[in-house]
Amino acid sequence: MDYAVRLRHVTKTFGKVVANHDVSMDIRKGEILALLGENGSGKTTLMNMIAGIYYPDAGEILVNGKTAEIRSPKDAYDLGIGMIHQHFKLIDVFTAVENIALGLEKNEKFDLKAIEARVKEICEKYHFELDFQQKVYEMSVSQKQTLEIVKVLYRGADILILDEPTAVLTPQETERLFNVIRNMKADNKSVIIITHKLHEVLSISDRVAILRKGEYVDEIDTAEATEASLTEMMVGRKVELNIGRSEPVNPVRRLSVRNLTVYNLEDVKVLNDVSFDAYGGEILGIAGISGNGQKELLEAVAGLQPAAAGSSIEFFERGSENVAMELVGKSPRKIRNAGVHLAFVPEDRLGMGLVGSMGMTGNMLLKTYGKGHSLFTDVKAPRVMAERVKDELEVVTPSLSTPVSRLSGGNVQKVLVGREISEAPTVLMTAYAVRGLDINTSYTIYNLLDEEKRNGVAVIYVGEDLDVLIDLCDRILVLCGGRVNGIVDARSTTKEEVGMLMTNLRKEGTAREQ
Amino acid sequence: MSSNHSVHREPAVRIVKRDTVTMGKKIFVRAAAILLALVVDAFFIFFVTGLNPLSVYRVMFDGTFMTPIRFSWALRDLATLLCIGIALAPAFRMRFWNVGAEGQVLVGGLVTALVMVRCGQSLPTPLLFLVMFVTSIAAGAVWGMIPSFFKAFWNTNETLFTLMMNYVATSIVACMTNIMRGQASSLGKLNMSNQAGWFPQFGITFLPDILNQRYTINILSVILLMFGMFLYMKYSKQGYEIAVVGESENTARYAGINVRKVTIRTMLISGAICGFAGFLIVAGRDQTISTASAGGQGFTAIIVAWLAKFNTFYMALISFLLVFLSRGASEIASAYSLNDFAASIIEGIILFFILGSEFFINYRMIFRGSGKEVQA
């Protein structure tokens, strides 16, 4: 067997935390290997050692059959190893070609024309779509990713590592990426892909390697694997992958949005005449290709985006269902205190709801510290609350004062979602609540949301995964180009119908609320 | 694939971030740094100046501790430096790089001096002090607020802005002192005849001499500030807001914090305390004003605030160390008629080692082959 990379008894620790323990695994030439594991199981650390970012504490790495000391990303490049990280490493003000030229060896001639010609060759070979003269700041996430891959190939990589490449891509973009990956495989290159999406693992990979708590569990040929078997190997026990969708009981109108229009900073209409109702005891899903107004919609309701004149967002408090409270014009804090909570998980997971340098206790305070008239913050209540969230959601943290930025992604999200639901909101809006989460944790969050619904909360769920939207929600509102392009019943709709609504704006007038 | 790269050896030294550091280790690393600095200094003293290092250290120690009056000067300088450090702490916690303390101190001092001269004869003493106090902190607050206002509304760069405000303040002070001195060659002490607006210099009689301070008011007020700022930053709602804004404006916005308001309010506080430091300098120390009144302490205080990671109690320790070093250096310079630079080198080496020790507190090094961790 011809191996591209072999890891032998590799161990890596950070302080007292063991990220990888005695991992031995092989990557064959010309195969696509999926690396699977729960959040915090050490996948990225392991790959970073192959890519020269970390250096193993013990064990050895063989590249093409020879022992290799990979001390820096440059060493990795020289060995033909390239990694595409979750956070792109590109210069915003440079064009695509200029970014590729950045990695030239000192003795190479700086000849952009020649580079462009070679890049063109690579793009044609693997069917990449890339505009060479486009500046990086004008690129979409998917275009930036393409550029990163081309850059790595240009430097002669035979072994490519992709760390969660599909986390921020649309389904169409993902399909395009997979085609390229298959072309690379046909060219006898080895590709390692980290992803949490099991259906992607099944569709793209040849073999799956599984890590659990930093240790190598097993590997399996993709042909013999199923979603259930992979999950079991990953978690270490049988897991029910069911969303227990309950029937809405006695829905009460909580939110009534009428003619909501929002302009962004560039004065572009990002939400256009949006109208809908949300009911307590149901989950309203919001579907749409990213950037079609989902974020603005939630932010407008939460008071973080100014709504244009003529917009109306009425809120009906618990116990006073007949009295409408107009939310437009109210401050974010007033809206939250009224019972409308927003948990938004941004790409970097921290930047919009948590303070990375503070512990759980400090973060519990974030939205409630202003309560009361005392000059000082309440010391006890947030600690009690942090304790409760930690217990109920099984947050793994060394202590309540450990900075949340040091927790793994899944735990960070539990802290965020846990805080928003722990105070019994009337309306709970979540966006991308499972972004980057492993499948087990994702289902924990889905079931939490369903529980909130059963408690009579009006849940609004913005998500990317259509299967989940259809399984979890009661109704799905589809946004397209900032407009409501239809509200469908999740129990009777199909993926195709929602997909159509996401991409094809219906004619004016028909897109009214049902 | 080039073959010349497969012969790499394990890197000679790897640097790894430490996870947690115990208090004991921190103290050990810092103590070792100071000891090492003294050894290096000893070589410098012996080989370059030909003096006995031990007697030089003795003289250095004398700079602060030889007589009660020296000690009280040292504490007075400590109070000034600490006061400015305390002023900077909330701004820095908010990641607002206020490098304009120098100017904020100067305008506070200038206003104090103006009130002393204009109202020294007419106002009764308590009222005079009150007016001096209020106007000085108001002046400092305004000086600090201006850059924060522009930052909040137009996102100007606060580092450049606060820095430039220093030069404006210096020029205003130069102009005003020229007007105030009239025909005299220099300004001299203000209100020399009746000492109006001078802090009374008193000690507390039952204390031993060394603690009997001439600058009791300066010291006591800064101690109060030290406790006050500690509580404010750690336990108050406003202190919490400052920490959140400093960490991420987006998070602050999502939490419903008015970022503009917090930015401006924090700089009002930072500037006000700087203005208060100016008040202490003019009324409690110099009884006069000049462009050199702040004496670069507005910049030294940046080191104080950073090294202490904004903990006001650590700040007191670090201020003391800096004051001790600078007094010691000038003492060496005069006692051995050394050139000032030689004394500064001795001071600089100690500072260098202390700053360098931060690296060993945060990181550890692993040497090739040893597999063993080296504990700094």
Picking from A110, A195, A336, A168, the residue whose alpha carbon sits closest to that of residue A181 is: A195
Distance from chain centroid for Cα B347: 16
Q: Do A78 and B244 make contact, defined as CB atoms within 8 angstroms?
A: no
| pLDDT for B369 | 62
Map tokens 């700087």 to a residue: B274
Q: For residues A481 and A272, is the Cβ–Cβ distance under 8 A?
A: yes
Distance from chain centroid for Cα A122: 29
Q: Do B6 and A158 make contact, defined as CB atoms within 8 angstroms?
A: no
Q: What is the secondary structure of B134-167 as a DSSP string?
A: HHHHHHHHHHHHHHHHHHHHH---HHHHHHHHHH
Q: State what percent of residues in chain B have pLDDT above 70.
A: 91
Residue A334, Cβ density class (10 Å: 0-12 exposed, 13-18 middle, ≥19 buried): middle
Residues near A295 by beta carbon (within 8 Å), at least 6 away in sequence: A344, A431, A462
| Angle between helix B23-44 and helix B340-362 axes, rounded to 10 deg | 150
Q: For residues A69 and B9, is the Cβ–Cβ distance under 8 A?
A: yes
Instruction: Please list every residue in chain A whose beta carbon sits closer than 8 Å to the beta carbon of residue B92.
Output: none
More reliable by pLDDT, B200 or A287: A287
Map tokens 């004016």 to a residue: A508
The mean pLDDT value for B308-336 works out to 90
| pLDDT for B3 | 41
| pLDDT for A416 | 86
Q: Do A351 and B256 make contact, defined as CB atoms within 8 angstroms?
A: no
Residues near A465 by beta carbon (within 8 Å), at least 6 away in sequence: A197, A434
Map tokens 């002046």 to a residue: B139
Distance to chain A for B357, nearest Cα, Å: 19
Q: In a mutagenesis test of the A interface, which of B16, B92, B251, B373 is the best target, namely the one with the most A β-carbons within 10 Å?
A: B251
More reliable by pLDDT, A496 or B79: B79
Rg (alpha carbons) of chain B, rounded to whole number: 24
What are the Cα distances from residue B224, in Å, to A168, B229, B333? 52, 9, 35
Question: pLDDT, tens digit, for every residue of A175-234?
Answer: 889 999 999 999 999 999 998 888 889 999 999 999 988 899 889 999 998 888 888 888
Rounded Cα distance, B207 and A370, in Å: 45
Lowest model confidence (mean pLDDT) among A68-77, A408-417, A502-511: A502-511
Map tokens 């490519």 to a residue: A160
| pLDDT for A460 | 94
Residues near B63 by beta carbon (within 8 Å), at least 6 away in sequence: B70, B324, B327, B328, B329, B330, B331, B332
Distance from chain centroid for Cα A36: 16
pLDDT-derived band at A501, boundaries 50, 70, 90 = confident
| pLDDT for B88 | 96
Q: Which among B1, B17, B237 is the nearest to A377, CB-wise?
A: B237
Rounded Cα distance, A376 and B80, in Å: 28
B135 pLDDT above the threshold of 70:
yes
> What are the start-end ranges of the H helices in chain B?
23-44, 53-65, 68-93, 101-119, 125-154, 158-181, 216-235, 237-247, 249-254, 259-281, 297-307, 312-335, 340-362
Residue spans of the domains in chain A: they are 3-235, 250-339+425-514, 351-423
Identify the closest residue of chain A to B246 by CA–CA distance.
A355
| Residue A290, φ and ψ in degrees, nearest 5 | -60, 140
Picking from A263, A267, A349, the residue whose alpha carbon sits closest to that of residue A310 is: A263
Q: In a mutagenesis test of the B interface, which of A18, A354, A383, A423 is the best target, namely the one with the most B β-carbons within 10 Å?
A: A354
Residue B119, Cβ density class (10 Å: 0-12 exposed, 13-18 middle, ≥19 buried): middle
Rounded Cα distance, A295 and A504, in Å: 20
Distance to chain A for B243, nearest Cα, Å: 9
pLDDT-derived band at B212, boundaries 50, 70, 90 = low
Picking from B168, B163, B170, B171, the residue whose alpha carbon sits closest to that of residue B299 is: B163
Task: Note whether A3-235 and A250-339+425-514 share their fold.
Answer: yes
| pLDDT for B375 | 40
Distance to chain A for B212, nearest Cα, Å: 36
Map tokens 């790959």 to a residue: A47
| pLDDT for B4 | 42
Q: Which among B6, B20, B256 is the nearest to A336, CB-wise?
A: B256
Quick one: DSSP state of residue A164? S
Token pair recorded at residue B16: 């790894």
Rounded Cα distance, B17 and B355, in Å: 17
Instruction: Please list every residue in chain A whose beta carbon sits closer than 8 Å to the beta carbon of residue B227.
Output: none
Identify the closest residue of chain B to A416 by CA–CA distance.
B251
| pLDDT for A507 | 60
| pLDDT for B268 | 97
Which residues pair with residue A285 across a beta bridge? A461, A476
Q: For residues B156 and B150, is the Cβ–Cβ distance under 8 A?
A: yes
Q: In a mutagenesis test of the B interface, which of A16, A60, A369, A373 is the best target, namely the one with the most B β-carbons within 10 Å?
A: A369
Give the number of C-alpha atoms closer than 13 A to the C-alpha of residue A394, restricted to the C-beta side: 6
| pLDDT for B207 | 61
Quick one: DSSP state of residue A137? G
Distance to chain B for A145, nearest Cα, Å: 24
Residue spans of the domains in chain B: they are 78-315
Q: State what percent of residues in chain A have pLDDT above 70.
A: 96
Q: For residues A100 and A131, is the Cβ–Cβ distance under 8 A?
A: no
Rounded Cα distance, A62 and A159, in Å: 13
The mean pLDDT value for B142-167 works out to 95
Token pair recorded at residue A480: 């397209």
3-state secondary structure (DSSP) of residue A330: coil
| pLDDT for A334 | 87
Strands A483-489 and A17-28: unpaired
Q: Which among A64, A344, A367 is the nearest to B1, CB-wise?
A: A64
Give the number of other Cβ atoms within 10 Å of residue A256's Cβ: 15
Average pLDDT, chain A: 86
Distance to chain A for B13, nearest Cα, Å: 11
Q: Which among A16, A351, A379 is the nearest to B250, CB-wise?
A: A351
* H or E segment to which residue A43 belongs: helix A43-50
Average pLDDT, chain B: 87
Q: Which among B14, B18, B247 is the nearest to A356, CB-wise?
A: B247
B7 pLDDT above the threshold of 50:
no
| pLDDT for B210 | 56
Residues near A291 by beta carbon (within 8 Å), at least 6 away in sequence: none
Rounded Cα distance, A100 and A155, in Å: 9
State the first-to-last Cα distance of chain B, in angstroms, to the nearest integer. Answer: 39
Rounded Cα distance, B177 and A376, in Å: 43
Listing from the earlier edge strand, what are the strands of the sheet with B363-367? B13-17, B363-367, B373-374
Picking from A76, A100, A96, the residue whose alpha carbon sits closest to that of residue A157 is: A76
Q: For residues B126 and B98, is the Cβ–Cβ distance under 8 A?
A: no
Residues near A153 by beta carbon (within 8 Å), at least 6 away in sequence: A82, A122, A126, A160, A184
Rg (alpha carbons) of chain A, rounded to whole number: 24
3-state secondary structure (DSSP) of residue B201: coil
Buried b (16+ CB within 10 A) or exposed e, B277-303: bbbbbbbbbbbbbbbebbbebbebbbb
Residues of B with CB under 8 A from a CB of A: 1-2, 5-6, 8-11, 14, 16-20, 231, 235-238, 240-241, 243-244, 247-248, 250-251, 253-256, 371
Picking from A342, A307, A325, the residue whose alpha carbon sits closest to that of residue A255 is: A325
Q: Which amino acid is at A420?
A: E
Strands A458-462 and A283-287: parallel
Q: Do A79 and B19 make contact, defined as CB atoms within 8 angstroms?
A: no
What are the Cα distances from residue B269, in Å, to B101, B226, B274? 12, 14, 9
Q: Which among A158, A332, A344 is the nearest to B256, CB-wise?
A: A332
Q: Which amino acid is at A28?
A: R
Q: Do B8 and A63 make contact, defined as CB atoms within 8 angstroms?
A: no
Distance to chain B for A371, nearest Cα, Å: 9
The mean pLDDT value for B269-298 works out to 93
Number of residues written out for chain B: 376
A14 pLDDT above the threshold of 90:
no
Picking from B202, B215, B219, the residue whose alpha carbon sits closest to that of residue B83 is: B219
The fold for domain A250-339+425-514 equals Rossmann fold (3.40.50)
Q: For residues B15 and B368, is the Cβ–Cβ distance under 8 A?
A: no
Rounded Cα distance, A6 and A61, in Å: 6
The fold for domain A3-235 equals Rossmann fold (3.40.50)
Q: State what percent of residues in chain A have pLDDT above 90.
A: 28
| pLDDT for B14 | 75
Residues near A483 by beta carbon (within 8 Å), at least 6 away in sequence: A272, A273, A274, A293, A505, A511
The mean pLDDT value for B260-279 works out to 96
The mean pLDDT value for A122-142 works out to 87
Map tokens 């206790």 to a residue: A361
Q: Do B256 and A78 make contact, defined as CB atoms within 8 angstroms?
A: no
Rounded Cα distance, A301 and A341, in Å: 10
| Alpha-carbon torsion (B287, B291, B292, B296), positive or negative | positive
Rounded Cα distance, B72 and B205, in Å: 15
Q: What is the interface pTM, i.e. ipTM, of the complex?
A: 0.76
Instruction: Please list every residue in chain B whose beta carbon sits closer than 8 Å to the beta carbon of residue A80.
Output: 1
Rounded Cα distance, B241 and B252, in Å: 8
Question: pLDDT, tens digit, for every residue of B288-312?
Answer: 999 999 889 999 999 899 888 889 9
Q: Do B236 and A333 make contact, defined as CB atoms within 8 angstroms?
A: no
